[in-house]
Structure 1
Amino acid sequence: MTTSAAVKSAGEHPVLAATRQLAPRVAARSEEIESARRLPADLANELAQAGLFRMVVPEAYGGLEMHPALVIEAVEILARADGSAGWCVMIGACTAMCSAWLPEPQARVIYGAPDVITGGVAAPLGRAELVEGGYRVSGRWAWASGSQNCRWLVGGAVVTKDGVPQMRGPVPEVRTLFFPIEDVTLHDTWHASGLCGTGSGDMEVKDVFVPAERSISLITERPRVARPLYAFPAFGLLGLGIPAVALGIARRAIDELTALANQKKLMTHGGQLLARRAAVQEAVAEAEATLRAARAFLLETVNTTFEAATRGEVTVKHRAELRLSYTHAMRSAARVVDRMYEAAGGTAVYRASPLQRCLRDIHVATQHAMVAPSTLEVIGSVLLGVDANTVML
């Protein structure tokens, strides 16, 4: 499998090779990450030094500008080692795509340092009041994953003038704004059932001035860096790592069930190994097929869409199928984890079992709006040729 812990050939991308080397160390600190409810600063820095938070930053700004399929693989490897670590890297790496939309001077200020980590929440939960030279922004955003290790955070906001939302056609104008960490209050609200180590508490700003050039719109503005990666659907790029986290967690669940099944003896079946039970054999076979099929569909659509992006020919159907592959990967991964947890029997319920962590982590990941079941309605409308609001695809 491509998620093997062993380093591949010398021709492999350096970031993937570095990630494979880091994965065992990340896995060894899994309990620490879970207990701390955040990614330890030294580990975050080590991941940054490996280039994991610069995977989609333009090469012109010192980034790696990696193919989307390689980004998926890197996040998948980490999530297999630890779901929370994979999630934090996903958030930081994909948020950094904003660098291609920023004016160059601001992009270099924010992303100039090779170890910088950015994060935040794109949902427009804030208010950005128009003032001379920029905006006065206030707001509070939940799910600010990995924010404790960030130097800059982004927040989505509705633009207002004299308190009145500014409209763009039938909808309010929405912008994504950058705040230095010094201007942000982080609230320790992340007491969650899964992905406990992501530090996904609330972030808040109060009447913070943001220069106009430090704000972007992924909806109405084109990227300032004209490269194929940024011709990829904007929201597809932003959500690229979410299915990768799911696939990594599901692969870990299969790994753990396989190891357990070859050790656990069933006293009710004459000391027979769990691996000898037909129901367990069937569960593993179906899980393997489900996971690999979902992964193949994901990579197929990512590669097809990227090829279309290189030609400047991305269509609404490309965008819909891309998002379908994300949602399908998430739902498939959740089914795999559920099946492995059930097959393990009572052993899986204990805190010491990695399977209970896989179960908790995957069912928090499924709640992300980017892969929620409601996305299937819009996707289905596109595939059926029915009118739909496709802005967020």
Structure 2
Amino acid sequence: MPAAHPVLERLAPLLPEFERRAEEIEQTRQLPPDVSRALIGAGVFKLCVPEILGGYEAHPLILLRAIEAAARADGSVGWNVMIGATSGMTAAYLAPEAARTIHGAPDAVTGGIFAPRGKAEREGDGWRVTGTWQWASGNSHVQWMKGGCVAWESGRPRLIRDGVPEVLTVYFPRDKITFADNWHTSGLCGTGSCDMSVEGLFVPEAHAVSLTRDKPRIDSPLYRFPVFGLLAMGCGAVALGIARGAIDDVVTLAGAKIPTLSRRPLADRTGTQSDVAKAEAAVRSARSFLVEAVEEAWRDAQRGGDIAIERRMALRLASTHATEASVRAVDLCYTVAGGTAVYRSSPLQRRFRDVHVITQHMMVAPPSYEVAGRVVLGLPTDPSML
């Protein structure tokens, strides 16, 4: 595990304020402007941006720790940190001038969705793009968003292999995007993850990349690291942070709450002790697996060349497992808390809702086990999707 990092040092004193304002963040359905500015000032959104563009090009485990710490304070803050930070990874795929335009400003923040919900039709020296994407997290504080698009040329999808259409990641300036006010959800309410759309927007060639076909223009360990693996790791880190926060909450509650028909605090019950221990074990073991998977993939990245498919698989598997284990831990804490946990005044009800929403994200949803299982079983698997 890497040592201290300046971003972690600047982030730490902000966390109590984020935790105190969790209900406000949930009610506004996005990060308040001063919270966004504080995160920008801490540098969290520059963790994956190349050093040549003023970023940190940090070790993935620094990213994991930053996301986890933010999510421990509040799930929505952690999710916004994850999206904004991991989005900087694709800066390494852009031509230098485009990369400076999009990522070069000290306060630059990007976001986006890789899912190919858009259509990019070839037009001259660029693309004419139309599409609508869900989960446009953090859109209130970004300058650029990106969306996955199927590439079309001469009136048909452009195929790359085995009849598979090429998917581009296309950047749009925020002022060219229409955002729908439709983020009304059970959890992660403060992430501002509404739908975004563009209609017939011309995008220059330099603002579109293929993450499965193109190679990063910057050859360093971070940009050899699997892009989708990094995103999945980020989702798992948010879940782990939420679970750690839930354990904090129930430990505090158990020492103070005297259950009905009891003279002793909740902490004295053997059932409480057992369930809290199970939650602790679930979080610690899942985190250890995720850290191990990151470290193994990182060693491959440092050596150069492609990351072995077994390392990619382990990274995706550990990320999904971390999410699943975190849900199990939060559920245990929620149950231990009893009726106290159902009130809006209890942070446990929010953590319960937040962590269950993460399970629906495609990077760590249950079907992602199937891809890992194919590798374990020795079946043909497309490594680009890992």
Summarize deviations over 1:324-374 as a string: whole Å, max 9, x none.
Answer: 110010000000000100111111111111000010000001111001111
Q: Given the alignment, which residue of 12, 31, 54 partners 1:20?
A: 12
**Which amino acid in the other structure matches residue 214 of structure 2?**
E
Q: Percent identity?
A: 50
Amino acid at match of 1:278: T
Match of 1:297 among 246, 269, 289: 289
Indicate if the aligned counterparts of 1:137 and 1:207 stay in contact, CA closer than 8 A: yes
Is residue 40 of structure 2 the alignment partner of residue 43 of structure 1? no
Classify the secondary structure of the residue corresponding to 2:203.
Answer: strand
| Residues 1:311 and 2:303 are matched in the alignment | yes
Q: 1 CA distance for matches of 2:105 and 2:49? A: 12
2:57 maps to what in 1? 65
Q: Which residue of 1 aligns with 2:44?
A: 52
Which residue of structure 1 lines up, in the alignment, with residue 378 of structure 2?
385
Matches of residues 205-284 of structure 1 in structure 2 within 5 Å? 205-269=198-262, 271-284=263-276
Contact 1:49–1:114 (Cα < 8 Å) also in 2? no
TM normalised by structure 1 equals 0.96
Q: Which residue of 1 aligns with 2:94?
A: 102
Q: 1:161 deviation in Å?
A: 2.3
Counterpart of 1:190 (choices 183, 194, 203) is 183
Question: Is 1:153 aligned to residue 140 of structure 2?
Answer: no
**C-alpha distance in structure 2 between counterparts of 1:59 and 1:239, whole Å:** 23
Aligned equivalents of 1:215 and 1:178: distance in 2?
6
2:232–2:320 CA contact under 8 A, matched in 1: no
Secondary structure of 1:207's aligned partner:
strand
Indicate yes or no: 2:314 matched with 1:321.
yes
Distance 2:283 2:52 in 1: 36
CA contact (8 A) 1:94 1:239 kept: no
**Counterpart amino acid of residue 216 in structure 1:** V
One-letter code aligned to 1:178 = Y
Q: 1:77 aligns with which of 69, 82, 95?
A: 69
- Aligned pair count reads 383
* CA displacement 1:183-236 (0-9 Å, x = unmatched): 101111100000000010000101100000111111001100000111111211
What is the Cα-based RMSD across aligned positions, in Å?
1.2
- CA-to-aligned-CA distance 1:26-80 (integer Å, 9 cap, x gap): 1121111000000112211110111000000011111001100010000100000
**TM-score of the superposed pair, with normalisation by structure 2:** 0.97
Which amino acid in 2 is paired with 1:31? E
Q: What's 2:113 paired with?
A: 121
Could you say which residue in structure 2 is the equivalent of 1:353?
346
Q: Give yes or no for contact 2:233–2:316 (8 Å, CA) kept in 1.
A: no
Unaligned runs of 5+ in 1: 3-10
What per-residue deviation string (whole Å, max 9, x for no partner) do you get for residues 127-171 of structure 1? 001000100001010110111111000011011124421111211
Residue type matched to 1:279 in 2?
A: G
Q: Tell me the SS of whatever aligns to 1:91.
A: helix
Note the C-alpha offset of 1:378: 1.3
After superposition, the C-alpha distances for 1:70-101 in whole angstroms (9 at most, x for unaligned) are: 10000100000010001011001101111000
Greater than 4 Å deviation, 4+ residue runs: none
SS of match in other structure, 1:267: coil
Specify the code of the residue in structure 2 equivalent to 1:189.
Answer: N
Q: Secondary structure at the match of 1:139?
A: strand
147, 151, 168: which one aligns with 2:160: 168
Kindly provide the CA deviation profile for residues 302-335 of structure 1, in whole angstroms up to 9, marking residues without a partner as x.
0111011111252010100111110010000000
